[in-house]
Amino acid sequence: MNGSVIALPNEQALVLRATDEPEAFAIIYDHYFPRVYNFVRYRVRDPVTTDDITAQVFERALAGLERYRPKRGPLAAWLFGIARHAVNDHLRAQKRHRWLSLDLLRNKASAGPQPEQIVVRSEMREELLDAIARLSDRERELIALKFGARLTNRQIAELTGLSAGNVGVILFRAVRRLRTRLIEACPRDYGEREQGHE
């Protein structure tokens, strides 16, 4: 992913035009789609659900574009505020759909350990997602906002209500924890260079 362009050139003018010019909205969409998608993907893992939530984010953004006020902050912060709510809504809503028969578990136990390993570790990004999945909700959200949405710590702080300093500390510790998880999962790939930095 190209990291050289964080905000669009003349973004504010583009947003004003986008309220009635489809072409202007298309430019915003093309620019932000990967970032929104990656943000959601870091939080929910499932590509199909990621697509659903990403679509919701852009639909809400399109419907609410007239209410966006550039004076209150950059478009990215506004857009990822919508994305954050959409993901949180999804995480809350899905909890009502989870069912499991305990008898099924008992049967599983009697059948012994399951041979199949559901998490596929063959690709680097799957390993990353797997390791991220083991972080706490807060750490996952900050990782998603930082590296998926590519926001600054200050923007993340405004969205989450944390201080920018706290965001930095949580992110640093989360990446360290992530590294530890990856070493545990793939010692040959990640463990050889392990040294302390104190």
Among residues 10, 89, 108, 121, which is the contact residue for another protein, using CB under 8 A?
A: 108
Binding span for another protein by CB under 8 A among 9-17, 69-77, 79-87, 126-134: 126-134
- Assess 122 for contact with another protein (CB under 8 A): no
Among residues 46, 64, 163, 189, which is the contact residue for another protein, using CB under 8 A?
A: 46
Helix (H, G, I), strand (E, B) or coil at 88: helix
Angstrom distance (rounded) from CA 87 to CA 57: 9
- Assess 155 for contact with another protein (CB under 8 A): no
Q: Which residue has the tokens 């574009």?
A: 65
Residues 25-44 that bind another protein (CB under 8 A): 25-26, 29-30, 33-34, 37-38, 41, 44
Among residues 71, 99, 122, 161, which is the contact residue for another protein, using CB under 8 A?
A: 99
- Assess 49 for contact with another protein (CB under 8 A): yes
Q: Provide CB contacts within 8 A for 51, sequence distance 6+.
A: 37
Binding span for another protein by CB under 8 A among 8-16, 20-28, 70-78, 79-87: 20-28
User: Cβ closer to another protein: 13 or 106?
Assistant: 106
Q: Provide CB contacts within 8 A for 110, sequence distance 6+.
A: none
Amino acid identity of residue 32, one-letter, is Y
Among residues 58, 68, 78, 80, which is the contact residue for another protein, using CB under 8 A?
A: 58
In b/e form, how buried is each residue of 60-77, taking b as 16+ CB within 10 angstroms? ebeeebeebeeeeebbbb
Least Cβ distance, residue 73 to another protein (angstroms): 17
Reported residue count of the chain is 198
C-alpha distances in Å from residue 32, one per residue of 19, 40, 114, 116, 149: 16, 12, 41, 37, 9
- Assess 162 for contact with another protein (CB under 8 A): no
Least Cβ distance, residue 110 to another protein (angstroms): 6
